[in-house]
Amino acid sequence: MPDLSSSAAAGDAHFDPLMDGTITFACHRGIACFTKCCAALNLVLTPYDILRIKNRLGMISDDFLARHTETRFEPPGRFPKVYLKMNPGDKRCPFVRSLGCTIYEDRPGACRIYPIGRASMRVEQEKEAREKFFVVREKHCLGFGESRAWSVEQWMADQGVDEYNAMNDQWLEIISSRRALGPEKDASRKLQMFFMASYNLDKFRKFVFESKFLRVFDVPPGLADRMAREDTALLKFAFDWLKFSLFGINTIKIK
């Protein structure tokens, strides 16, 4: 399934169905397993995750990607995914310390939703993403022994997941598209475009504002101003540009 599974799980995780839409769980500094989950993760970063973290760290996209991520083509020829690099020695997340996550307010969506996992896909012509939830169980996580009950909605609201899903679902529509990328020579160029617009927003900003882009594409002045001021507006536009450039969808117009 073309998917974006939101789950910051390590390799030994079990995935259980979410039986009645609720979990009994709590995570806090006093728990014996505190921060044990922040290691050995296969943590896929979405464009919005990258935007939030690189801004939090005051880094430009190129430096953040080089220092903190690795890119994998899974399967080969399809859109590349960017993973958060764990520390080479202890395999811990580079942002975890004994007092917890040092980028907590800007932590990735997968860390927010844990220990719930969300598998979602966006189908063209459907307004909302299709989603399924499951429970991620790992031996080291003692949070399931706590007594607080949550519905999925309560957990997501408490952890600030909704804003992430809203941004991620727009991108999901691109990576889960079944449309072909065209002949091989076009496909490799399109993959480069995908990488820039998805993961390297600083490069995409230069592409929009420092090339002939605004002379070629019909971008309303109000939108151009907003993109210059707001990273989220620029990222949403990047998704529209990708739909146009990769698949020929009429999301933006040529002058």
Nearest approach in angstroms of CB 156 to ligand SF4 is 15
Nearest approach in angstroms of CB 212 to ligand SF4 is 39
Q: How far apart are CA 130 and CA 121, in angstroms?
A: 5
Residues 6+ apart with CB under 8 A from 110: 6, 7, 8, 43, 44, 49
Interacting residue with ligand SF4 among 5, 18, 22, 34 (CB under 6 A): 34
Could you give the angle at the alpha carbon of 117 between the alpha carbons of 115 and 118, nearest 5°?
A: 150
Nearest approach in angstroms of CB 43 to ligand SF4 is 6
Q: Count of CB atoms within 10 A of residue 71's CB? A: 11
Interacting residue with ligand SF4 among 93, 201, 235, 242 (CB under 6 A): 93
Which lies closer to ligand SF4 via its Cβ, residue 140 or residue 189? 140
Which lies closer to ligand SF4 via its Cβ, residue 82 or residue 93? 93
Interacting residue with ligand SF4 among 4, 45, 111, 156 (CB under 6 A): 111
Please choose, from the candidates 109, 110, 84, 104, the residue with its C-alpha nearest in 3D space to the C-alpha of residue 7. 110
Interacting residue with ligand SF4 among 47, 109, 117, 143 (CB under 6 A): 143
Is the Cβ–Cβ distance between 81 and 74 less than 8 Å? yes
Q: How far apart are CA 43 and CA 108, in angstroms?
A: 9
Nearest approach in angstroms of CB 32 to ligand SF4 is 8
Is the Cβ–Cβ distance between 134 and 18 less than 8 Å? yes
Which lies closer to ligand SF4 via its Cβ, residue 47 or residue 108? 108
Which lies closer to ligand SF4 via its Cβ, residue 124 or residue 146? 146
Q: How far apart are the first and last CA of the chain?
A: 37
* Cα–Cα separations (whole angstroms), residue 230 to 176, 226, 234: 26, 6, 7
Q: Which stretch binds ligand SF4 (CB under 6 A): 37-45, 71-79, 197-205, 206-214?
A: 37-45
Q: Which stretch binds ligand SF4 (CB under 6 A): 14-22, 32-40, 117-125, 207-215?
A: 32-40
Q: How far apart are CA 117 and CA 135, in angstroms?
A: 6
Which lies closer to ligand SF4 via its Cβ, residue 92 or residue 130? 92
Which lies closer to ligand SF4 via its Cβ, residue 141 or residue 174? 141
Binding site for ligand SF4 (CB under 6 A): 8, 27, 31, 33-38, 41, 93, 95-96, 101, 103, 107-108, 111, 114, 140-143
